[in-house]
Structure 1
Amino acid sequence: MPFKSSRPVSGEEEQMYQNLEVIPIHSEDGTIEHVCLCVYDVTIQASQQQELKRVSQKLEEEHQSQKVLIKKLEDAQGQLIQSEKMASIGQLSAGIAHEINNPVGFITSNLQTLSDYFNSLEKVLKSITQTIGQSKDTALNEACQKILKQGQVDFILEDTAELITESLEGSSRVMSIVKNLKEFSHVDRSEWSYANLENCIESTLKIINNEIKYNITLEKHYAANVPDVFCQPMQINQVLLNILVNASHAIKGEGTITITLQSAGDDFVEIHIRDTGCGIPEEIRERIFEPFFTTKPVGSGTGLGLSVSYGIINKHNGTISVTSEVGKGSEFTIRLPVNPSAEAVDNTDAKAM
């Protein structure tokens, strides 16, 4: 029962909370002659319960915000996978990183602060409960236990701890996805630079993880001492993305994608991407690098992915080729020079279209 307090327990208390227990006193003939009123001051316990509920509610709101952010980010990843133009991917990744990092930062900070608050409140509540439990006042002890049970304090403590853990895990997941997008797009590395192709492959695989994680077995064979290649890393990632997505779409049901990275003499590096998909019929194999040519149903692709990839590799003085057998799968081979010609590097305005 809340009462307006003329003597608050602390400077922060505006009301006193008291439990009122009415005990009838019977006479010898069974009639009630007197009534005993027992009033217990439970202001501190009530305040602690209210604060715990407030923290739990706020934490639940933060947790829901995390779920919304994760859903939006996964949707953005889906859009990124379908994108077939290098510039769009870079801009989208940069926008995601900028828009997501800021709210995730303060959400994570708030969650950590709430965790500290919760730990403090939990310690205080347990200390109060222990102190009352050691009291010789049996009635007070019983009243305290009754309040704790009615307020489901044990459940609130346990559930709040789980909410904190889940929310922090969600925050970590968002930051990890954003990091992968940054590594994939290399928005700060659009110029020519030496790139480790193994890193390019790995960052691209992280982006398409949703496409392959359920039904595709991934095999990777990276040779030792493969030299870095002087290239435009974001464009090479675009090529890898196009080929890997096509490979995953070619596999109906379960299958395998095998990626091999190796040196080809002292001056070239090769990437082989082999799938166990449906394969490409011989009569259309020579046309797959033509603009707007696609074997997918209408509305499922623009037919520019492999054409863009061909243009990018050609601009790097490299080659891209395919071997395929219907019913057994296809293998794409990308061959890049470690150091392309000066003319290729200087021609930075060339468009891979």
Structure 2
Amino acid sequence: MGIGKFWVTDESSFVVLRALAMLGGMVAILLVPHPPAHQPYLGTLAWSFVAYKIGLFLGIWTWPAKLRAVLLASVGLDLAFVSLFVWFGGGIGSHFYLLFYLLVALVAVQFEPAIGLATAGAAGGLYAVATMTHGAEGDWHHLVARVATFFLLGGSLGYLSQRERLARSRAEALNRDLQENQRCLEQAYQELQAAQARAVQSERLATIGQMSAKVAHEVRNPLSSISLNVELLGDELLSLPEARRVEARNLMRAIRAQVDALGSVTEGYLRFARLPKPKLEIAPLGPVIADLADFVREELRARRVQVIVDVQQELPALRLDAGQIRQALLNLIRNAAEAMSDGGVVRVAAQALAADRTGAAAQRRKGAEPFPTIPPSAPAPLRFVERIWRRFSSRSSRARKVEPVWVSLSRGRSPWDTVERSPVRARPERRPPSA
């Protein structure tokens, strides 16, 4: 305990009250008349008392960590001084024995009952010594009665103070629990406010989505009319001369391109605002992958990316939405192609696995293949991709191999919602220098 905190605690009150009591006793012993044989010792007693009190406060200042031991030692010295006051006051007839009651009461309130009773016993012994030196053997019954009240006072006050300390400790524990519950309640309230804010934001986004869908519908209807009229106008252009027909056809092509662009924009808004329900039908997956590969092959060839299709023969038919599966695979392939700025190979594989976990485990063992070494001088994105593949590599002690990446798509507002675990692997690979 720091010395600054000492003066605002129960210990400080204990020290101050004892000091006031002993100071009052010292002043009283100097004012009352004494026998001539005792007067030479009064000065020594007074200076000893002052030195003791100064030493007590210096001990509290010097050893704040040993405050309890210092206070208990000072209690013994206070009892010794009170016994001297009784001796100077005349023994059994002195009223200074009342200071014993005050000291016993203060100790019993400050410490546990056992220390209070021990203080009462020490006070009784010192009181008996101080009175017996004056030859008061005939008043032993008064001495016994007073010492008994020392024990009665120390025991009763010690018991009451112990109950008060226990009640205070329970109250402090309840207060700590209350503060903890209040903190949890405030945290829950903050989380509730955050959830409400997210709910309001979701409602706003939903409103924006509905507005986008409505605007897209309102725009798409005129676009359909414009597109139809452009087709009819194209038929009318056949009657024009050849020179004007070519110019008009170019204008019509530009108009149709802009109409198609606006149609794509409105279709994107509609797809964002309203997720189309999957139309599940029993259909083979192989033709969907093959048609998609033919569709994107020329586009990827312009980026120096090769598409390889690896579909198992006699692949069983699945219950799927071919359009949404096609859109999901198209997004995968285009993302893989965009990740290979220097060109490479995109492999799309599909094969049947066992119905339990053994199928996936066998596929991981079978599909593992060495990853090509990436030199330190390679571009940063390519080195980042290598770190990702190394992260998913097996822990084989012979060689680090890349496990197949199984595309697990979360539910969201996109055509990917119908795909739970798609056996599609998209691996970016570096092209050899000679390619």
* TM-score band, normalised by shorter chain: 0.3 to 0.5
When normalised by structure 2's length, the TM-score is 0.29
Whose strand proportion is higher, 1 or 2? Answer: 1
When normalised by structure 1's length, the TM-score is 0.33
Whose helix proportion is higher, 1 or 2? Answer: 2
Bigger Rg, structure 1 or 2 = 2
Q: Which has the higher contact order (CA 8 A, sep 6+)?
A: 1
